[in-house]
Structure 1
């Protein structure tokens, strides 16, 4: 089938053109498949990480459920090595209310001299720093609430 004015195409060129067109189409499909693989690989990584976190959480919860319910026992605060501190705490326990240094001196039958009151106040402050007493307001000391 020859057309007037046009020579017949060379069968070799025609086949090469068909192969080139097919190669370009397949190359495009490969690039699309690789892009999809990249997206799916990223999604697979996210899902794998999520499932691993869920497994770790389950394992942790199950191990905690099988542990006995024990509250950590806090060590009692260490008292300074002086019997006066024990006497002060005994007065607080007996009276069961907040005290000022002057009131504590009276309860301990100490002289109400300035030096005695200041010494007791210093001991009270030291007990506060050790966490044995609290200072509710300036100069007013009490045992902490349980």
Structure 2
């Protein structure tokens, strides 16, 4: 075997290996960026969960008082008037004879309708 042919062959292998190593380094950079983005999203979700858990007790406390709150009843009445909710049978826990169960009627609403200023029917 010719020495020059052997040296040329080694040089070609070296270039191929160097090119492959460079591709892998680029891929590592890309994956590192993706991992960083996923870590950021994960941290945001942890903060969201922590906030939600901290507010859960407060929300439950607030919701337990809503059915008897006059302002809440006024809002529900207005929703019924606007056709956003439908009145149904009286609530079993009703403390006032005019309290009724409310059923949402929002299936006909879409983001496009509300965004374009169309009123629900």
Q: What's the TM-score bracket when you normalise by the shorter of the two chains?
A: 0.3 to 0.5
Higher RCO, 1 vs 2 (CA within 8 Å, ≥6 residues apart): 1
TM-score (norm 1): 0.39
TM-score (norm 2): 0.46
The structure carrying a bigger helix percent of its residues is 2
- Greater C-alpha radius of gyration: 1
